[in-house]
Each structure stands twice: as C-alpha cells, then as structure tokens.
A and B are shown apart, each in its own frame.
Chain A
Amino acid sequence: MNLADHLPALQVALPLLTAPLVILLRNGFLAWLAALVASLASFGLAILLTQAVLAGGVPEYAVGGWQPPFGISLNIDGLSALMLLLVTGASSLGLAGGRLSLRRDIDNRRAPMFYGAWLIALAGLCGIAVAGDAFNVFVFMEISSLATYILIAAGRDRRALSAVFKYLIIGTIGATFYLIGVGFIYMMTGTLNFEDMALRLGEVIETRPVIIAAGFITIGLALKAAIFPLHIWLPRAYTYAPNAVTVFIAACSTKVSIYVLLRFNYGVFHGNLLGHSDLFSVFIVPLALSGILLASAIAIYQGNIKKLLAFSSVAQIGYIALAAGLATQAGLMAAQLHMFNHALAKGTLFLCVSAFVLTSRSTRISNLAGIGRRMPWTMGAFVIAGLSLIGVPGTAGFVSKWYLVVAVMSVPGWGIPLVIAIVISSLLAVVYLWKFVETAYYGTPPDGDVSAMEVPLPLRALIWFAALANIYFGLAPQLPIALAESGTGTLLGGLL
C-alpha cells in the first residue's frame, strides 16, 4: 500500500469523512480547529497532487477497483489541480482568517453543524474537480450546493434566508438541467464517463438529443456559474452570507461550475458537434461582454462594500466566460489563469472586508468612512488586491488580463472592439474600487473617532500573506501558467 497512489481519492475522502466527526463535537472552538486542520491537510494533498501533475501526470484512479467506463474514475490534469488549489486554499483562508468573525456570527451550540457543513462543501467542490464521470459530478455538485446553502443561511441578517432560498431554487434548476443533459447524452452513447463519452459521441454526431443535451448542460451550468444574466442569485447570497463564508465561496464555488462547463464543452462536445465551438462562442461571448460591462457599471452604484464586490465578481466571471467562449488555445489559457488570479484577488478583498466588519460592524461604505486611516495595514492589503483585480502590472491580475488581451486580439475582425470593452470595464473597476478607497482614506468616520483599531496581529499577518500572494503570482506566474498549459492540453488534446 502506497498512500501516494491514493491521493485523488483521499483528496475527497479526507474532508468528507472528517465532517461527521466534526458534527459530533460539542464545542465550537474544537469544531473550528478540526475543520481548519482538515482543510489545511486537504490543501497539502492538493499541493502534492499539483507536484505530481507537473512531474508528469497523475494516473487515472479507478474507485472500487472497477475500470472506467464501468466504474467511476478520478482524473486529474492541470486544470483539476488548479481547481483543487483554489478550493482548498480558499477554504483554509476563510477558516483561518474567519475565526473571529465566525465566532461572532455562529453561536457555540450550532457551530459543530456549521463547520461540518463547511467541510462537506469543501469535499463536494474537490469531488467535482477530480471526477471523471458526468453523473458523479452531479452528485458532488449537489453535496457542495446543499452544504453551501447552509453556510449562507448562517448569515446574521434575515435577508440571508431570502437570498439563500432564491439560490436554492436556481441552483436546483441548474443542477437538474445538467442532469437532463447528461441523460440525453447517456441515451445516445450508453456511457457516463467523460473520455468514453467523447469517443462514442462521434458515432451519433448531430443528432437532436445531443444538441439538446449541449443546450441543457450549458444553460444549467451557466445558472450555477452565475454567468450574466443568470447571475441574479449571486449578489445577495454573497452579501448576506457570513463574511468568512463569502471569502470561501466567492473565491471558488462559481469557478467550479465553469470548470465543469469547460470539461463538457471542450472535453466532450468540441470536435464532436459540428460548429459547436462557434455556437458556444455565439451564445457565451455576447452574454459575457454584457456581463463585464453592465455588472461593472452596477457595482459603481452599490452602497454596500460586499455587494459592490459581488457585482464585481459577476463582471469577472464575465471575463472568464469571454475567454473560454473564444474557443481558442489562448482563450482557454486566459480563462484558467483568470480563474486562479481572480480567486486570489477576491479572496483577499473579502478577507479584508471581514476584518473591517470585525472592528466597525458594518458593510455600508458610508459607515466605513475613514477606515483606511484607522486600519492602515488591512486597508493596504485591500489596495494591493484591488490593484490585482484591476489588472495593474506587477500583480497577478495583470498576467491574466495580458493573456486575455492577447487571446482577444487574435479574434478576426473583433479584436479591437473586444479590447476596448476590456479596457472600459477595467476603468469601471478603477472607479468602483476608488469610490471605496477614497471614502476609506479621506472620509470622516460616522462617530468622528479616528483612533487606530487594527485587528489582531495573526489575522493581519494572514491578510498580508494573501495580499503578497497577489504580487508573487504577478511577478512569478510560472505555476498557474504551467497548470493552465497542462489543462489546455487535456481540454483540446486529441480532438483538434
């Protein structure tokens, strides 16, 4: 027995099986600690898997010893490794940085249930990232969704409940659409395994059920990924969720849906459906563009910093969708890199917000006036992550914006207009972030008190660690680039 051979299964099993132990605890602190340890251990497993991918690849893992397509396989390529790093990293960041704010949001008695749900959400997202089977993706999608609903419903504001109900309805519709699509493909191919599907679809190319399947899967996943205009559930869910939960889900949960979308549209349909790529582009690109521009514009008018950042997320998902929708190698590279970099920036930003809320107890921008002078360390980190979000050179955000612009330029006839759209939306990002930064540095606090009130040192250190990661991956982006290259290879591999 060599545990290194079982990394793909352990990546899911570790957080999943820790969860039932956590709910049996009676103490909120212990539950948090257990969840944090499990989350960090998962992060460690993700790093090991990433190393294995870069060192030549991870062999297919057949769960239960049954070879695919008869059993369920776990397949890990660069893109999966990228997602695993994001998911486990965001979870650890949320748990480690959220201790103080979670202690305030969740009462001690219910805390074990909450952290159990957190671990199940983590396991579900990891499960999607490693799955090589279309139905297995559905199962883990539902695990992570149900657990995420619990996490969001834990918000203190009653609006968290109405937001989460809407999310539950839309999320279930999305997952059911996905399931219908998988059903249509199974009907025509007799298999559920991604690789096998891609092979066997060639025989039933251009049949009506397969085309319908592509439609259901794309729309279902677009709902879950909150691609504009299917994003209506997202801003309120992000805003009213507990702050630490927002750090976790804003960084990774919608991206996992985009990941499945890429798996299907490139791994399975691409090359099997005539003109599929063009259709996909025609469907996705206009939506993505309007999302980028409109959501950025809406963000400017938000009075609540969490809502502002949530609309910014809708716009950033637009960038990822735009890049993915180009259906080119450069586009896929840009999409994957932007998933990574946006998660980094948004995770840091929401972590800073949770620190602001710890001291000033409000997410209204007007109530946060002067916070930059009172909490200079946290605000400094916020500015760095904000620069990365805008795409300023030297930060991680610049790398993916650069790849995006290069990818867009190669679109015949549309290069210049698309670049202009990207530039406009980046300027809009400057405006909405400046709006907050200006208030934070130059505004007068509501109670006129300008004395320093920083959060405790460990939390500050963590925030700066996250902020510096934004700079590190801006100056030395080799890791995400290598993973994205490997991911692009498997997405387009053999089918071009």
Chain B
Amino acid sequence: MKLLGLFNYWVFAVLLMIGLYALISKQNLVKKIMALAIFQSAVFLFFITMSRVDGGTAPIIQAGVSGQIFSNPLPQVLILTAIVVGISTTALGLAIVVRLYEEYGTVEDNEILAMDRES
C-alpha cells in the first residue's frame, strides 16, 4: 500500500528524466520544445499529487454541506501559474524556431551548430 502511494512520485521522476533525455539527445528543435513540455508536465504531476488528501474533494465549498474534507488548494494554484508559464515558454520557443528555420534553412541543432562554426 505504501509503495502504491509513492507510484505517482516515481512516474514524476521517470517523466522528468524522459523529458531531460529527449532535451539532450534530440537534435530537432521542435522536438526539443515538446520534450520541454513533457519535462514541465512532470512537475505539474508532482505538485498535484502532493495536493491530494484521502477522502477529499476538489476545494470548492458546497452550500449546506459541512465537515467536508478538501484537497489542498495551494499546490493547485501554483500549478495553474506554472501551466501558463509553460505554454508561454512553448510559444516563444516556437517563434524562435520559426525564425531559425528562416535564417538557417534547418531546425536540426547539429546542422545549425556546424553552420555557426563555419561563419
């Protein structure tokens, strides 16, 4: 039971490292952006897992019901902000990739690096 209760955190660790692996090993810049999204999503899972309370419900107070157990609202708030930060980074990153393609004619990191070295 204790082990099952930690499963979420293991998935967090594994997803984080899948993202990091792809960020390092993949040369395609669009792929790198997707890897960055996986990397960040892992952290979302980490925080939301932390917020869950057994027997609880979403932290919305229902009129006339007392003695409810709520899951923790704070990590949820933090992750709402983090999701927004994530999509903003994705948008900016993609715009840079588009400009890179226009300037270099490729979106493969190693090819861009090679062209940079020549000039």
Direct contact between the two chains A and B in their complex (CB within 8 A): yes
Count B-side interface residues using an 8 Å CB cutoff: 32
Quick one: closest A residue to B98, CB to CB? A161
> In residues 66-81 of chain B, which contact A (Cβ within 8 Å)?
74-75, 78, 81
Chain B residues whose CB sits within 8 angstroms of the CB of A153 once the complex forms: 96, 99
> In residues 159-180 of chain A, which contact B (Cβ within 8 Å)?
159, 161-162, 164-165, 168-169, 172-173, 176, 179-180
Partner of A169, one of B16, B32, B104, B112: B32
Within the complex, what minimum Cβ distance (angstroms) separates A162 from chain B? 5
What is the CA–CA distance of A25 and B40 in the complex, to the nearest angstrom? 35
Contact between chains at A169 and B23 (CB < 8 Å):
yes
Contact between chains at B103 and A161 (CB < 8 Å):
yes
> In residues 97-117 of chain B, which contact A (Cβ within 8 Å)?
97, 99-100, 103-104, 112-113, 116
Interface residue A135 (Cβ < 8 Å from any Cβ of B)? yes
Chain A residues whose CB sits within 8 angstroms of the CB of B58 once the complex forms: none
Count A-side interface residues using an 8 Å CB cutoff: 25
Chain A residues whose CB sits within 8 angstroms of the CB of B82 once the complex forms: 138, 179
What is the CA–CA distance of A135 and B97 in the complex, to the nearest angstrom? 29
Contact between chains at A168 and B20 (CB < 8 Å):
no
Contact between chains at A172 and B89 (CB < 8 Å):
yes
Contact between chains at A135 and B119 (CB < 8 Å):
no
Partner of B103, one of A149, A158, A172, A176: A158
User: Would A146 and B88 be within 8 Å (CB), given that A159-B116, A186-B75 are in contact?
Assistant: yes
Partner of A183, one of B47, B93, B97, B112: B47
CB<8 Å pairs between A and B, sample of 22 = A135-B81, A139-B81, A146-B89, A146-B92, A149-B92, A153-B96, A158-B103, A159-B119, A161-B96, A162-B100, A162-B113, A168-B96, A169-B32, A169-B36, A172-B39, A176-B39, A176-B40, A180-B46, A183-B46, A183-B47, A186-B50, A192-B74
Closest 6 CB pairs of A and B: A158-B103, A142-B85, A161-B100, A162-B112, A165-B96, A187-B50
Q: Can you add 8 more A-B contacts, CB < 8 Å, to A146-B88, A165-B29, A183-B75?
A: A142-B89, A158-B100, A169-B23, A176-B43, A179-B43, A183-B47, A186-B50, A192-B74
